[in-house]
Amino acid sequence: MNNGVEILIAEDSPTQAEQLRGLLEEHGYRVTVAANGKKALAEARKRKPTLIITDIVMPVMDGYAFCKKVKSDETLKDTPVVLLTGLSSPQDVINGLECNADNFIRKPYDERYLLSRIKNILTNRELRNSQRMQPGVMIYIAGQKHFITSERQQILDLLISTYEQAVHINNELGIREQELAHSNDWLKGLYLIAKGLNQSTSEEQIVEEVLGRAMNMPGIQAGWIALREGESDFRIAGARGLPPSLEVPGAMEGDCLCRRRLLSGELRQTINVFECERLKKVKGDEHGIRIHASIPLWIGDRTVGILNLGGAEESLTRGDTMKIMNGVGNQIGIALERARLHEHLERRVEERTAALTAEVAERKQAEEAQARLVAILEATTDFIGIADAHEHALYLNAGARKMLGIGEDEDIAAFPIADSHPEWARKLVLGEGIPAAIRDGVWSGETALLSRNGREIPVSQVILAHKAPDGTVQFLSTIARDITERKRFEAQLEATVEARTRELQAANLQLEAASRHKSEFLANMSHELRTPLNSILGFSQLLHDQTFGALTEKQARYVDHVHQSGKHLLALINDLLDLSKVEAGKLELRPEALDVREALTAALTEIHPQSEAKGLTLHLDMTSGLPPLVADPVRFKQILYNLLSNAVKFTPAGGRISVAARLAHRSPFTVDGPEKADREPSTVDREQPPGFIEIAVQDSGIGIKPEDLPKLFQPFTQLEPAISKQYQGTGLGLAVTKRLVERHGGQMFAASEGEGRGSTFTVRLPLGPPSM
């Protein structure tokens, strides 16, 4: 309905200009915006507007100057001009009259009031145009003379708009008075809460006091307090006025928006009003409660819980209400902490009282235990003695007195330790034993005691230094056991060991000779067998190639069987020879720096024809930037090929084989396998440079029974699935591979989740060169 009305806005603030444009366009007005008076004047002359709204303070040309220009222009002077101003003094009205403005609108303006004023101005425009110009009038205000040339109707409109602004301000003051009364009620409620908190000494009293007082505050219909337990859990400490829908078991448990924001830190020391999620989830009578204010209960930078106050929207969304509630959460948090400390103190008093009671009982038990200990010390046949820091005896048990030949009633106060040892043992005890015990706390060794009758008694002796908190030695104690019989037995045993050692040396010489003969036999056998085998392989391959198509299907199958049997026998000979060399310690390694990616890529390329024939998928996953691996290139290739060919052999057609290589911080293997948890490296691990490269070959093949895993790497072992012809092998491949890995200083491990669920073979090799 306002499509024919064009309004020109002069406003230098882009934000305020766009806000005003959006409001006017939303109500059907066509709007043009200019950033200052000069640009607005140009726009008005280009296309005459129906109404002009201008700010006062603008660069280049302000609103008063712009209004004067418009009113002095013959083509524009009948265009109504509205000034946006703070209307802070009578001078604003005089300035508006002097520039012939038609109306005032006070900033900040109410949108509904602004639209109403525009409508009135446009309605009165025709009335103003129908009246004749009136002569000017001279007025005095604030000690200054002003000559006003505005039309009568124009002056009247301007003054009426000023009066309406005053009425509008008076209405706002009435609203502020109501809000002030509302705030005063809240302040009274908070005062009562604070007063009650000071008198509360337990969590239960605090919760009851806060919720009881809160229910008397304006607009509050319900309230509940949830306190934190641990990092993310909450418990309801108390509630008042809950609607039936929230009293259902479990309705107040679990996650909600206010708790999530408290945990994320968004509610720290601030108030937020939310539409209650719990009321949305449950069905029933909510008693008119739609929203709740969430007040964090906090101490310093720590939140201890949350207070939710539920009510109607208009009673909880007032800005002054939120400002008043900002400090209540801290007061409640401090009171809860004080109550916790008070309860903790009472508990500590109870615990201390119980501890003192227990201490008395323990002391009595200690005295009884001490008496039993003394009885035990006196009953033992071992030498037990105590001396002061000057090495004078304080206590000798019955066993010690008997060894030394000291009477039961004889005074030992002046008895020096040195006199209880022969000369060589005295030097050992005084020169090494006691200084070491003072330095380290304890010393042990074999010494000897000297009886008064001159008999030397060999003993196993322990010396302990007992120190005060400042580190000074308070006393020394010693325990010595007669080892005369042990010494006699050791002498006999030493003679027996010497004889047995000579026998073992002779046996070792025989074993070395047998091993040498075995290695020589295997080397000669492999040479003697390889020559005819190479002929068999060569001629069978030649026969296959040159007679292709000429042989019958049965003859070609026989030729192929001969060739495959020869290859199997040659592999068996090679594995036997490698196994014998490794076990005999004669396998020589020629380590050099290898690129792991190149080695893996080459191995996968070599195995590709076999995998392609079975329709297997090969996948390589490598950590970028792997350092070179120092290893024997031939043996490393043999390790990789054995693992891959084994995976291809035991993976049915259409399966998948994955190869992964990564850096490892330390070896995870134990006697029975890797560590239980495949965890991330610890802080200590990260501080240490990685020392291993781990290569894992995983297949989707036939899998391994748990009970068969320990037998995998035993030579000549064929597991149950290998009975089938399609899986037959030499039984040496994995055994040789594991020994080659160990020869490089590495480890190898197999894992499987069971039959039909695939297997994983993992090799871990050190980055440094293998020990030769």
Per-residue model confidence as pLDDT tens digits over 152-208: 556 666 666 665 666 566 566 666 666 666 666 666 766 677 677 777 778 888 888
Residue 462 has pLDDT above 90, yes or no: yes
Nearest alpha-carbon partner for 129 in 160, 157, 153, 156 = 153
Residue 551 has pLDDT above 70, yes or no: yes
Residue 385 lies in a domain: yes
- SS3 (DSSP) at 496: helix
Length of the chain: 772
Please give the Cα distance from 517 to 512 (Å, whole number): 8
Residue 41 CA, chain-centre distance (Å), reads 63
**pLDDT reported for residue 442:** 93
Residue 647 lies in a domain: yes
Nearest alpha-carbon partner for 568 in 540, 548, 596, 607 = 540
**pLDDT reported for residue 765:** 93
Judge if 509 and 633 occupy the same domain.
no
Residues 326-344 have a mean pLDDT of 80
- Which region among 27-36, 511-520, 694-703 has the lowest average model confidence (pLDDT)? 511-520
Contact 401, 407 (CB under 8 A): yes
Please give the Cα distance from 70 to 76 (Å, whole number): 6
Judge if 115 and 258 occupy the same domain.
no
Judge if 417 and 276 occupy the same domain.
no
Which of 524, 545, 576 represents a domain boundary (last residue)?
576
Q: Which of 587 and 381 is assigned the larger pLDDT?
A: 381
Residues in Cβ contact with 304 at an 8 Å cutoff, skipping those fewer than 6 apart? 227, 228, 297, 298, 333, 336, 337
Residue 368 lies in a domain: no
Residue 624 has pLDDT above 50, yes or no: yes
Please give the Cα distance from 10 to 13 (Å, whole number): 9
Judge if 650 and 747 occupy the same domain.
yes
Rg of the chain taking only CA atoms, in angstroms:
50
**pLDDT reported for residue 674:** 47
CATH number of the CATH domain containing 450: 3.30.450.20
Residues 208-232 have a mean pLDDT of 82
Q: Is 770 left (phi over 0), alpha (psi -120 to 50) or beta?
A: beta
Sheet of strand 759-766: strand arrangement: 617-622, 656-664, 692-699, 759-766, 747-752
Residue 678 lies in a domain: yes
Please give the Cα distance from 648 to 639 (Å, whole number): 14
Please give the Cα distance from 191 to 181 (Å, whole number): 15
Encode 126-155: b = buried (16+ Cβ within 10 Å), e = exposed.
Answer: eebeeeeeeeeeeeeeeeeeeeeebbebbb
Nearest alpha-carbon partner for 386 in 476, 480, 515 = 476
Judge if 597 and 733 occupy the same domain.
yes
Residues 76-101 have a mean pLDDT of 81
**pLDDT reported for residue 177:** 65
Judge if 159 and 95 occupy the same domain.
yes
- Which region among 219-228, 357-366, 724-733 has the lowest average model confidence (pLDDT)? 724-733
With tokens 């006999």, the residue in question is 492
Burial class (CB in 10 A: 0-12, 13-18, 19+), 356: exposed
Judge if 746 and 630 occupy the same domain.
yes
| Beta bridge partner(s), residue 663 | 693
| Beta bridge partner(s), residue 761 | 697, 750
Please give the Cα distance from 46 to 76 (Å, whole number): 11
CATH number of the CATH domain containing 317: 3.30.450.40
Distances (CA, A) of 534 to 201, 529, 542, 573, 577: 97, 9, 12, 12, 16
Judge if 109 and 252 occupy the same domain.
no
Residue 657: pLDDT band (50, 70, 90) is very high
Q: What type of residue sits at position 355?
A: A
- Which region among 66-70, 327-331, 535-539 has the lowest average model confidence (pLDDT)? 535-539
Domain encompassing residue 386: 380-482
Q: What type of residue sits at position 52?
A: I
**pLDDT reported for residue 491:** 85
CA angle 209, 211, 216 (to 5 degrees): 100
Residue 582 lies in a domain: no
Residue 341 CA, chain-centre distance (Å), reads 31
Residue 112: pLDDT band (50, 70, 90) is confident
Dump pLDDT digits (tens) for 692-734. 899 999 999 988 888 888 888 876 666 655 444 455 555 667 8
Residue 105 has pLDDT above 50, yes or no: yes
Residue 528: pLDDT band (50, 70, 90) is low
Between the two ends of the chain, the Cα-to-Cα distance in Å is 99
Nearest alpha-carbon partner for 11 in 23, 3, 25, 21 = 21
Judge if 428 and 475 occupy the same domain.
yes
**pLDDT reported for residue 39:** 92
Dump pLDDT digits (tens) for 436-447. 989 998 999 999
Two tokens, residue 500: 């047995």
Q: What type of residue sits at position 40?
A: A
Please give the Cα distance from 283 to 11 (Å, whole number): 52
Residues 432-455 have a mean pLDDT of 90
Residue 358 lies in a domain: no
DSSP state of 623: -
Q: Which of 527 and 665 is assigned the larger pLDDT?
A: 665
Give the count of domains, the chain.
5
Which of 344, 366, 391 represents a domain boundary (last residue)?
344
Residue 668 has pLDDT above 70, yes or no: no
Residue 125 lies in a domain: yes
DSSP state of 431: I
Judge if 476 and 522 occupy the same domain.
no
Two tokens, residue 388: 């002061």
Please give the Cα distance from 604 to 600 (Å, whole number): 6
Burial class (CB in 10 A: 0-12, 13-18, 19+), 672: exposed
Residue 671 lies in a domain: yes
Which of 576, 603, 635 represents a domain boundary (last residue)?
576
Contact 267, 303 (CB under 8 A): yes
Question: Which segment, 404-408, 559-563, 628-632, is predicted with the most confidence on average?
Answer: 628-632
For residue 509, how many other CB atoms are within 10 A of its CB? 10
Q: Which helix (H) or strand (E) holds 686?
A: helix 683-687
Q: What type of residue sits at position 285?
A: D
Judge if 460 and 545 occupy the same domain.
no
Mean model confidence pLDDT for the chain: 78
Pairing outcome for strands 30-34 and 302-311: unpaired
**pLDDT reported for residue 571:** 61
Residue 595, CA atoms < 13 Å, CB-side half-sphere: 6
Judge if 32 and 83 occupy the same domain.
yes
Nearest alpha-carbon partner for 291 in 267, 306, 272, 305 = 272
Residues in Cβ contact with 387 at an 8 Å cutoff, skipping those fewer than 6 apart? 393, 394, 417, 475, 476, 477, 478
Please give the Cα distance from 44 to 240 (Å, whole number): 64
Contact 86, 43 (CB under 8 A): no
